[in-house]
Amino acid sequence: MRWFYKEFVTYAKQKNMTVLKDDYNFIEKCIRNMPQNEQRDVMRRYCTVWNAVVVGTENNVSKQNLGRFAANEFLRRYVE
């Protein structure tokens, strides 16, 4: 999971995504048993969902919360 922290943290910062420690823990729990290539694909989709939601939102706090919720919901459904 080392790649996850290095690549995802860098990407999240570049995209101004405020990813909380609880988010990292949730994501890691969901993807840790997947092959690495699937983990990368799922995380790309996770970020796409987050960023798609925040595009039309003006308030930064609302933007981050809406993006986080949508991305976490995507991940929750993916692993079910």
Residue range 70-79, pLDDT digits in tens: 999 999 999 9
Q: What is the pLDDT of residue 71?
A: 96
Say how many C-beta atoms besides its own lie within 10 A of residue 17's C-beta: 21
- Helices 21-31, 36-54: axis angle to 10 degrees equals 140
Report the percentage of the chain scoring pLDDT > 70.
96
Over the stretch 49-72, which tens digit does the pLDDT of each residue have? 999 998 877 887 888 999 999 999
- CA–CA distances in Å: residue 1 to residues 8, 33, 43, 61, 68: 11, 10, 12, 29, 21
**Domain boundaries along the sequence of the chain:** 2-79
Q: What are the two backbone dihedrals, phi and then psi, of residue 18, each rounded to the nearest 5 degrees? A: -90, 90
Over the stretch 5-63, which tens digit does the pLDDT of each residue have? 778 888 888 888 888 889 989 999 999 999 989 998 999 999 999 999 988 778 878 88
